[in-house]
């Protein structure tokens, strides 16, 4: 018997990447008009951002349903293994609730962890879990370690545009216009599983400076744990500019930190041009 990890697509693992790592992949969905796509199954990131930038209205994103989790759990348990599902924050989506509902049919065989994070914050927790299952075969012990470490995750990201927050009803037209005129760039993070605005800067360069300061001031950064960078959209120029301005973070070459592309779950709400970084504190 071994432990098999189940992830949702909000973790920024693509289907192919998850498959290569032995992860079971449960996609959220994104709907443009009357056309629904399973994230990373029916639509890749490039196509998603092409549709997003062309759309007058924001697409709708939908949580993973219980049946999708049930199918993954059934396959794992029928093969004699134990399932460990790590999900998008329960405060951002009903995906965790779906996993919990599906798990009721597999007592003692399915274990759940609410990441209380999203995008690369969720991803680095999964990467940590992959390391844990190499040496620990007790799922309850792994759950305890993951729940302790999720409190140590710092994720911060810089938005390039307010357009998508406005389209999604999170900003009024007046707020969006004022922000555009002033070239405001919000710096966001996750606190207790929910999104919060950490700071605002005028202009992209100032925003990148605040992002770098947020990272550099994290003196208790844990170099032995995974870290990751992210960008949204089909052009990494914003992230590349940040790397040029700040070639070393935490005293090491920024090029050594792996990069993911933000998918539809969060990309819908922030739009292209967002950059960010997630890491563990000691």
Give the residue from 155, 128, 153, 162 showing the smallest Cα distance to 142. Answer: 128
How far apart are alpha carbons 236 and 272 in whole angstroms?
A: 10
In this structure, how many other beta carbons lie within 10 angstroms of the beta carbon of residue 266?
A: 23
Domain boundary residue, one of 88, 121, 151: 151
pTM as predicted: 0.93
CA dihedral 232, 66, 122, 156 (to 10 degrees): 50
- Assess whether 242 and 172 both reside in one domain: yes
Q: Are residues 49 and 140 in the same domain?
A: yes
What is the structure's pLDDT at 219?
A: 66
Distance, CA of 45 to chain centre:
14
> How far is it, in rounded angstroms, from Cα 187 to Cα 192?
17
pLDDT at 161: 77
Q: What is the pLDDT of residue 190?
A: 83
d(CA 27, CA 36): 12
Residue 41: name the closest of 277, 270, 275, 263 by CA.
263
User: Cα–Cα distance between 266 and 264 in angstroms, integer?
Assistant: 6
Strands in 259-261's sheet, in edge-to-edge order, are 194-202, 184-191, 153-158, 275-280, 228-231, 259-261
Distance, in Å, from the CA atom of 51 to the CA atom of 57, rounded to the nearest integer, reads 11
Per-residue confidence (pLDDT) for residue 192, from 0 to 100:
81
Closest CA to 245 of 217, 200, 197, 213: 213
Residue 139 sits in the same domain as residue 58? yes
Q: What is the pLDDT at residue 26?
A: 98
What pLDDT does residue 181 have?
A: 38
Domain count, the chain: 2
**What would the two tokens of residue 198 be?**
């950490």
Helices first, then strands: H and E counts in the chain: 11, 15
Say what the pLDDT of residue 183 is.
Answer: 66
Measured CA to CA, the distance from residue 208 to residue 241 in angstroms comes to: 9
pLDDT means over runs of 10, the chain (282 residues): 94 96 97 96 96 92 97 98 97 96 97 96 98 96 98 92 60 42 73 80 89 78 92 96 89 89 91 93 88
CATH code (residue 228): 3.30.1180.10
100, 163: one domain:
no
Domain residues for 12? 3-151
Distance in angstroms (rounded) separating the CA atoms of residues 81 and 139? 11
Whether residues 146 and 168 fall in one domain: no
């Amino acid at each position: 018997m071994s432990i098999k990890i189940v992830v949702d697509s909000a973790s920024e693992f693509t289907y192919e990447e998850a498959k290569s790592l032995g992860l079971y992949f449960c996609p959220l969905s994104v709907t443009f008009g009357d056309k629904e796509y399973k994230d990373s199954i029916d639509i890749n990131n490039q196509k998603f951002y092409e549709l997003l930038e062309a759309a007058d209205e924001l697409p709708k994103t939908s949580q993973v349903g219980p049946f999708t989790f049930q199918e993954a759990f059934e396959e794992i348990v029928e093969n004699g293994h134990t399932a460990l599902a790590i999900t998008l924050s329960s405060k951002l989506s009903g995906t965790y609730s779906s996993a919990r509902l599906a798990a009721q049919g597999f007592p003692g065989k399915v274990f759940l962890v609410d990441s209380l994070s999203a995008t690369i914050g969720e991803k680095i927790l999964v990467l940590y879990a992959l390391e844990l299952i190499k040496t620990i075969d007790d799922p309850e012990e792994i759950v305890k370690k993951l729940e302790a470490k999720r409190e140590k995750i710092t994720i911060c990201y810089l938005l390039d545009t307010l357009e998508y927050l406005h389209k999604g009803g999170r900003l009024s037209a007046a707020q969006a216009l004022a922000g555009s005129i002033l070239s405001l760039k919000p710096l966001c993070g996750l606190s207790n599983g929910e999104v919060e605005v950490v700071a605002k800067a005028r202009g992209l360069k100032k925003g990148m400076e605040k992002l770098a300061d947020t990272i550099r001031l994290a003196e208790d950064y844990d170099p032995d744990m995974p870290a990751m960078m992210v960008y949204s959209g089909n052009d990494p120029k914003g992230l590349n500019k940040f790397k040029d301005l700040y070639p070393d973070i935490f005293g090491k070459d920024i090029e050594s930190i792996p990069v993911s592309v933000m998918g539809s779950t969060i990309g819908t709400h922030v739009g292209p041009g967002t950059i960010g970084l997630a890491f563990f504190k000691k």
